[in-house]
């Protein structure tokens, strides 16, 4: 069964600290993996995409990694800011059609 598991479910960190969010998936065959950020009361917005051949990709303070062999991805946030408080959703797309599996998300709280 195609699944996407995210951990932790929620996370509280102090402003300025780093954190890493995890995503494990079983979707096969694999096309790409995206991380989305969803602010409270808003729709998700894409942060980054990882394809099969990519190991790491950065978008400002966000760095995503992908290990296609172990089917794991991580999202590392550096020097967190209050505005990073949001849900982060890992989304894996299979090949063919629109097969897209969403993780349940990690809820990040950044405290001053």
Partner 1 sequence: DVKVTQSSRYLVKRTGEKVFLECVQDMDHENMFWYRQDPGLGLRLIYFSYDVKMKEKGDIPEGYSVSREKKERFSLILESASTNQTSMYLCASLSGQVNEKLFFGSGTQLSVL
DSSP state, residue 111 = E
Residue 105 binds partner 1 (CB under 8 A): yes
Q: Which residues contact 60 (CB under 8 A, 6 or more apart)?
A: none
Q: Is 57 in the site for partner 1 (CB under 8 A)?
A: no
Out of 21, 66, 103, 110, the only residue in the binding site for partner 1 (CB under 8 A) is 103
Residues in CB range of 106: below 8 A, 6 or more apart = 6, 7, 8, 9, 10, 11, 21, 87, 88
Distance CA 77, CA 85 (A): 11
* Rounded Cα distance, 24 and 74, in Å: 9
Interaction of residue 22 with partner 1, rule CB under 8 A = no
Residues 27-46 touching partner 1, rule: CB under 8 A, are 31-32, 34, 41-46
Rule CB under 8 A: is residue 10 a binding residue for partner 1? no
Residue 22 CB, nearest approach to partner 1 (Å): 15
C-beta closer to partner 1: residue 38 or 63 = 38
Residues lying near partner 1 in the complex (CB under 8 A) are found at: 4, 9, 31-32, 34, 41-46, 49, 51, 89, 91, 98, 100-105
């Amino acid at each position: 069964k195609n699944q996407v598991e995210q951990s932790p479910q929620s996370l509280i960190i102090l402003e300025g600290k780093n954190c890493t969010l995890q995503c494990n998936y079983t979707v096969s065959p694999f096309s790409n993996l995206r991380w989305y950020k969803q602010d409270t009361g808003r729709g998700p917005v894409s942060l980054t995409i990882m394809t099969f051949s990519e190991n790491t990709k950065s978008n400002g303070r966000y760095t995503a990694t992908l290990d296609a062999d172990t089917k794991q991805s991580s999202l590392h946030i550096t020097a967190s800011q209050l505005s990073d408080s949001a849900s982060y959703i890992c989304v894996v797309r299979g090949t063919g059609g629109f097969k897209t599996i969403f993780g349940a998300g990690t809820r990040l709280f950044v405290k001053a």
